[in-house]
A and B are shown apart, each in its own frame.
Chain A
C-alpha cells in the first residue's frame, strides 16, 4: 500500500500532497515538513530509500523518493510494495506529467494542482497502484479533458479569453522559470512496459 504521495520543491513548499490515510491538516503539514527535512539533507548520489519518519506510520514504512531539478517526488509505502517498483512508478508518473503538460515545469504543478491530482488518480487509487501503463493513463486523462472542454462549450470560450487577458496584464507573471530536465533517468531502472 502507498500511504502518501508528496511533491514539494527544494524549499519544502508543497506542490501536491495526497494522503491515503486520514490525518488532520496540521499533521499533514508536519509530515510534509518532516519528510522534507529528511529528504533534503541527503546527497544526490545516495540511495533513494529512507526508513520512514516518525509521524507517518511506524517501522513498516519506507520513504521512496526521487529528486528532479527543483522538485522532490516522495512516496511513502509499506513493505508490500517493491522498492524498485515504486521508483519505476515515480518515473512513470513524472513522464506522464511531462507528456500531459508538454514539457512539465514546476509552474505547471503550481498552477494546475487539480490536474496533477487527476493524473495521479489514474495511476494510484486509494493507495493501490491502478495502472502502470503510460499510454493508457494518458488516453484516459485526455478523454476526460475532452469531456470537460465539451461541457464548457460556448461559455468556456470567454472564460478562457479572460484568463488569457489576465495573464497578459500581469507583468510579474513569471514566465520562464523552468525546472530543468524533469526526465532524468536513473540508470539500471528500465521502466514498466
Chain B
C-alpha cells in the first residue's frame, strides 16, 4: 500500500503539470490546436486513474484550457470528485474549476449539495472559504434552497473571514431563492454593525445591491446607514452607502435634507484627505438629493449651481477620467435643471472635439437635454459641422442618431420650423456609408404624416430625392441609406395631391434602376406608382380623350413588367396586380369611360398614426376570456383525468382511450418532427421570421452587381435647400417678431400707463418663440377607452422582481428556511419570534454616542410604538380579509394575532429620525402652500388623503409649528399610500362620500364585503362658510416626567372652506372644564383663543391640531367651543363665528397596545381586574368585520382568535388594562370585559354598544 503511494507520487513527478502544459503550448505555436488535443487525451487518461493528485492536476490543466475556449464540461464529474478531496490543495483546484465551468444547466451540480454542506461546516476556515467562493459562482435555485440555512448560520461564524464571505454570498442566494430574503434579512441587518470592517463592508454591499432594485423596501434602514456614513472610514463602504442614498432620496425627500450637510462636509474634506472616487460619488448623491428636493425650492438652485460649477472644474481637468465623469454627472443634473447646465454649452460643445470618443459621446448625450426652441437650430448646425468632419463611421452614425434624437425628442417639442427639419433630414441622406437610413426614413414619414402643414414642402423635397435617386442607389447600396427612398416614395404617393408634377415623379419611380433597390423598397415604389397614377388621372379628369392620362397608362404598362419579373414575391405580386389593373383601365380609357373617380377611390382614406403601445392598451371587452377554450381541447391530454366529467366516465373505456391517445401523442410528435424537417428543407415554405427586420433583409440583393460611382466631390443635389438658410431666415423672423412685439408693447404702455405691466423677461424666453408656421402635430391614435397603464416597460424576467419583498413585516411562521432535520420542528411562539428579530436591532441602535440620550429616546420610541398601534391593526385587517373564513386554523390566527409591532416601531423610528432633521426655514414656507395646493387637487371635502391611522408627530415641543408638522404628515401619508394601495383605494372612495351631507361616519357605513371603509373623522360643526371635521381624539399621549397625573390629548380638526370667499384670522377657543383644558401658549390667559395657523382660500381644506390636557380619563367629556373667523370677499369682509362641541369619548383615551397571549393570560390570572359584560343582539356582520371594527373604533388589538371567539386588549393612556373576550353565535355577540377601572370599562362598553347600534 505504502509502496503504491510512493510509486504514485513518483509517477506524478513526470506527469505534465500546468506549467508544463503552458510551456508546451508556447512551444507549439504552429500546431497549437493539435498539441492541445493530444494534451486533452492525456488529461482524459489521467482522469481515469484512481490517484486524486493526478486527477487534481488534470482538472487544473482543464481550467487553463477552459480559459482558452475549450469546452471542458465533459469532465464535470471529475471536477466534483476533486472538489470532494479531503486535501485543501485539491479541493481548491476542484472548486476553481467548478466556478469556471459549472452553471445552472450542469446536471452534476445536484451531486454536490452534501459535499458543499460538509465543506461549509468544516473546521478549517479555508475549506469553508473555498466552498463559499465556488458556490458564489455556480449557485442554483436548488442549491440555494438547500444550503440557505447553512449559509445563514455561517453569517454568525466566529471568524470574520467566513462571516464576510457568508454575508456576501447571501445576495446570490436571494437571487436564486427569493423566499430566503425575509428570514435572513434580520441577521443581514445585524451584520451592518459587525465589529469587523470587512463583514460590515460585505453587508453594505449586499444591502446596497438589493436596495438598488427595490429601494422602497429599504427606506427603514436609512438611519442605520446614515450612522455608518458618518462613522465609517472605509472608502469603499462610504461610496456604496452614498450611492445607496442616491437611490433612496427620491423616495423620501426628508432624507435628502438630512443628507445634504454631511455630504457637503465630505466634499469639502475630500480633496485633501481621501480618494477622488469618494468626492465624485458625494457630488453625485448631492445632485440626486437636490433633484429630489428641487420642486419649488428656489434656495436650492444655488446649490445646483454650485454642483455644476464643481463639475465644470472636473470637466476642465486634464485627467480624462474626471472629464468623463464630470460630463456623466452633468447629464444627471440636466434632467431636472436644464437651465443651469445650458449655461455651460460652450464647454460641452468643446468636448465634442475631444480626441476621446467616450468623452465625445457623453458630450453628445448632454447636448440632447440642452436644446431649447431657441438654440436647437444653432446646436444642430454645429453637429452637422461635426458630421462633416467626423472620421470613422461609428462616431458619425452616433452623431446622426443624436441629431435625430435631439430634434424629435418629446414629440418634436423644440422644432419651430419643420421645413428646416425636413431639410436637415434631406441633408443627412447625403452621408456616405451611414447605417441609419432606416432611422432617417422613419423620421421623414413621422413628420410628413403628423405635421399636416408641412406635407406640401415634404412632398416637394421627397420628389427631388426620388428624382436624384441614382445618387443614393449608386453610392450606398449596402449601407441602408436607400431606406430613405422607401419613405420618399411613400410620402410622394400618399400625399400626391401636393405634387406639382406627379407625372415626372411617376416617371422617376419607374426607372429601370429602381429594380436594383432592395425588395421592400421596390414594393413601396410599385404601390405608390399606382397612387400617383390615380392622381394623374384625377388631374386630367374631365378632359375627354386626355392624351396625358393615356400616356400615363402606357408608361405604367411599359415599365411595370420589369417589376413583375422581380425575384421578390412582394414586388412581383403588387406589380402584376397593378399591371392588370392599369391594362384594364387603359381599355376603359380607350372607350372613353370616366375612370378617374373609381381609381382614386382605390386609395381613398387617410392613414393616421397609431401610438406605439396602442395595441397593448386595447381593453379586453367584458365577457371575453382569452384563456378559455373556444372548442373543447382534443381529448387524451392528461388534464382530462382531472376534469369533473371523468367522474361520470366509466373506468375501463377511459383507460383504453388514454392508452390509445398516448400512442397518438407519440405519433403526433413524430409527425411534427417530420413536418418540421420537411419545412426546413422546403425553400417555398415561409418560416416565421423572428424579427421584423428580416423583412428588409432582401435575400440576394447583395449579390446583384452594382457599379460603384466614386465621387470625390460632395454632391449638391440640385434644387435642395440648404438647411443653413433657414437658420438665417429664422433669425430674421425672430428679430422681426421681437420688434413687432416691442412696438405693440410700447403702444400698450402708452395706452395704459397706470396699469401694471408684465415683467419684461429681458432676453427672449421660451414662450416668446412662436413657430414659423402653425403646425398641428397630429397626436397618435389610441384605441377607445385605452387603459392608462404605464407598467409596460418593466421587464418581467428581471430576477430582481422576485426580491421585491416587504422586509418590515415581521416574520411569520411560514417564513423559514428549509432545514434538514430528523425531529419535527418545534414551533416558536410568535412572541419568541419577535424577540429574536427585533431585540438585537434595537439594542444595536444604541451606540456609545447616543447612550446619554438613550433613556429619553427609548421613551419616545415606546411612545411612538403606542401611537403607531393602529398600523398592526391594519395589517391584521388585511390578514383577516384575506383569510378564507371557513379555514381559520388556530395557527393562522396566531400569526394574525401576533401584532407586528416591529413594523410600526421601525416605521416610526424612521419618521422620528427624519423628523428630527433640521429643516431650513425657507423650505418650510415653500412647502406649506404646496401641500395645500395638493389638497385643492384632490378636491374632496374631508382631508383628502388622511387615513385614520396617519402617524402623528410626537415631539411635544413641536406643537408650535404646525405647518412643519403638516408637511411631515403629508409625506408620511404619501409614503403610506404607496404601501397600502388597497386600503388607499377604499379611502378614496370613502372620502368621495365624505364630501356629502352625511359625514357623520362613525359606524354609519353600510355593510359590504370585504371590510367596509372606516373613517374616524366626524363632523364637528358646519355653517354656510366653513365645515369642521374632528378626528377621533385618538392621538393621545401622556406627558413624561412631572405631570404624572395629567395626560395630553391631541385633537386634529380639518377646516374646510365651503364658501367662495377667503377665510382668514380664524381663532379657535374652547371653554375649559375642570378636567380638560386647552393648552395655550405660555403667557396667554385661560380664556384666550388660539389662532389657527393658516388661512383658507375658497374650497380649500386644511388641518390644525390642538392639544388638551386631561386629568381624569374614566369619564367621557364634552367641551363647548367657538371658532371665529373673517370672511373676506371682493366687496366686503364680515366677522363670523361657529359654535361646536368637542366630545372626548373614553375610547379616545385608549391606545392600541399589542399584547401576547402569555402576558394576557397572566394579566387575567392576576385578579386585579374587575369584570363586566355586554350583549349585542342582531349583529349581522362577519366576525372579522366585527373585530376590525372594534379594533378600529375602539383602539383594541386582537390577542388571539379561535373560530368565533377572540380575546382583545387595549390600554389607556394612564395605564389601565382593558381586556375583552368577544364571542359570537347567531347574530348575538357577547363581550366579557375586564379592567382595573370599572367606570372606564363601563363607559367603553357603552361606546362599543353605541358603535354597533348605529349599524
On chain A, the residues within 8 Å of B235 by CB distance are: 85, 88, 132, 192-193
Interface, chain B (partner A; CB < 8 A): 9-10, 12-14, 17-20, 22-23, 26-27, 60, 63-64, 66-71, 87-89, 92-93, 96, 100, 103-104, 124, 126, 129-130, 132-133, 136-137, 139, 161, 164-165, 168-169, 171-172, 197-198, 201-202, 205-206, 208-209, 212, 233-236, 239, 243, 274-277, 280-281, 319-325, 355-359, 361
Does A45 make an interface contact (CB < 8 A)? yes
Chain B residue nearest to A189 (CB atoms) is: B276
Number of interface residues of A (CB under 8 A): 70
- Decide yes or no: A130 and B164 within 8 Å by CB, A29-B69, A47-B324 being known contacts: yes
B14 engages A50 (CB within 8 Å): no
On chain A, the residues within 8 Å of B234 by CB distance are: 132, 192-193
Q: Which of A43, A127, A152, A155 contacts B355 (CB 8 A)?
A: A43
Chain A interface main SS type? mixed
User: What are 25 A-B residue pairs whose CB atoms fall within 8 Å in the complex?
Assistant: A22-B104, A24-B71, A25-B66, A46-B320, A47-B359, A49-B358, A82-B239, A82-B281, A84-B277, A84-B321, A85-B235, A111-B22, A114-B63, A125-B133, A125-B136, A126-B168, A126-B171, A128-B168, A128-B171, A130-B168, A144-B88, A148-B88, A155-B9, A162-B14, A189-B275
A150–B292 CA distance with the chains assembled, in angstroms: 58
- Decide yes or no: A172 and B274 within 8 Å by CB, A148-B88, A193-B235 being known contacts: no
Q: Please provide the 4 A-B residue pairs with the shortest distance between their CB atoms, ordered closest to farther.
A: A126-B136, A84-B277, A22-B103, A47-B320
Q: Which of A48, A50, A152, A190 contacts B274 (CB 8 A)?
A: A190
Does A163 make an interface contact (CB < 8 A)? yes
Q: How far is the CB of B154 from chain A (nearest CB, A)?
A: 13
On chain B, the residues within 8 Å of A54 by CB distance are: none
Q: How far is the CB of B978 from chain A (nearest CB, A)?
A: 23
A16–B99 CA distance with the chains assembled, in angstroms: 14
Does A168 make an interface contact (CB < 8 A)? no
B69 engages A128 (CB within 8 Å): no
A188 engages B322 (CB within 8 Å): yes
A46 engages B88 (CB within 8 Å): no
A87 engages B277 (CB within 8 Å): yes
Q: How far is the CB of A92 from chain B (nearest CB, A)?
A: 10
Q: How far is the CB of A125 from chain B (nearest CB, A)?
A: 5
A3–B169 CA distance with the chains assembled, in angstroms: 15
User: Which chain A residues in 13-64 approach chain B with CB under 8 Å?
Assistant: 14, 16-18, 20, 22, 24-26, 28-29, 42-43, 45-51
On chain B, the residues within 8 Å of A147 by CB distance are: 88-89, 124, 126
Chain A residue nearest to B25 (CB atoms) is: A110
Chain B residue nearest to A20 (CB atoms) is: B137
B198 engages A143 (CB within 8 Å): no
Q: Which of A28, A117, A130, A152 contacts B89 (CB 8 A)?
A: A152
Q: Which of B17, B69, B212 contacts A25 (CB 8 A)?
A: B69
A193 engages B233 (CB within 8 Å): yes
A117–B320 CA distance with the chains assembled, in angstroms: 31
B87 engages A121 (CB within 8 Å): no
Q: How far is the CB of A75 from chain B (nearest CB, A)?
A: 14
User: Which chain A residues in 170-193 approach chain B with CB under 8 Å?
Assistant: 170, 172-173, 186-193
- Decide yes or no: A162 and B198 within 8 Å by CB, A25-B69, A25-B70, A43-B355 being known contacts: no
Does A10 make an interface contact (CB < 8 A)? no
On chain A, the residues within 8 Å of B68 by CB distance are: 14
- Decide yes or no: A51 and B361 within 8 Å by CB, A14-B67, A129-B236, A192-B275 being known contacts: yes
B276 engages A84 (CB within 8 Å): yes
On chain B, the residues within 8 Å of A163 by CB distance are: 17, 19
Does A151 make an interface contact (CB < 8 A)? yes
A110 engages B132 (CB within 8 Å): no
Interface, chain A (partner B; CB < 8 A): 1, 14, 16-18, 20, 22, 24-26, 28-29, 42-43, 45-51, 80, 82-85, 87-88, 110-114, 117-118, 121, 125-133, 136, 140, 143-144, 147-148, 151-152, 155, 158-159, 162-163, 166, 170, 172-173, 186-193
- Decide yes or no: A118 and B92 within 8 Å by CB, A125-B168, A143-B126, A163-B19 being known contacts: yes
- Decide yes or no: A158 and B358 within 8 Å by CB, A82-B280, A190-B274 being known contacts: no
A113–B25 CA distance with the chains assembled, in angstroms: 14
On chain A, the residues within 8 Å of B281 by CB distance are: 82, 84-85
On chain A, the residues within 8 Å of B71 by CB distance are: 24-25
On chain A, the residues within 8 Å of B93 by CB distance are: 114
Chain A residue nearest to B65 (CB atoms) is: A25
A51–B64 CA distance with the chains assembled, in angstroms: 29
On chain A, the residues within 8 Å of B103 by CB distance are: 22
Q: Which of A25, A42, A111 has the most CB of B within 10 A?
A: A25
Q: Knowing that A158-B10, A189-B277 touch, tell me 6 more A-B residue pairs with CB under 8 angstroms.
A: A18-B100, A29-B69, A113-B64, A125-B165, A147-B89, A148-B92
On chain B, the residues within 8 Å of A136 by CB distance are: 198
Q: Which of B67, B198, B212 contacts A16 (CB 8 A)?
A: B67
A87–B278 CA distance with the chains assembled, in angstroms: 12
On chain B, the residues within 8 Å of A43 by CB distance are: 355-356
On chain A, the residues within 8 Å of B23 by CB distance are: 111, 170, 173
On chain B, the residues within 8 Å of A28 by CB distance are: 69
- Decide yes or no: A140 and B161 within 8 Å by CB, A1-B209, A162-B13 being known contacts: yes
On chain A, the residues within 8 Å of B96 by CB distance are: 114, 117-118, 121
- Decide yes or no: A50 and B358 within 8 Å by CB, A111-B18, A152-B89 being known contacts: yes
Q: Which of B22, B66, B100, B319 contacts A188 (CB 8 A)?
A: B319
Q: How far is the CB of A44 from chain B (nearest CB, A)?
A: 10
A83–B322 CA distance with the chains assembled, in angstroms: 10
- Decide yes or no: A126 and B172 within 8 Å by CB, A25-B70, A49-B358, A83-B321 being known contacts: yes
On chain A, the residues within 8 Å of B233 by CB distance are: 193
A85 engages B277 (CB within 8 Å): yes
Chain A residue nearest to B127 (CB atoms) is: A147
B69 engages A26 (CB within 8 Å): yes
A82–B1169 CA distance with the chains assembled, in angstroms: 62
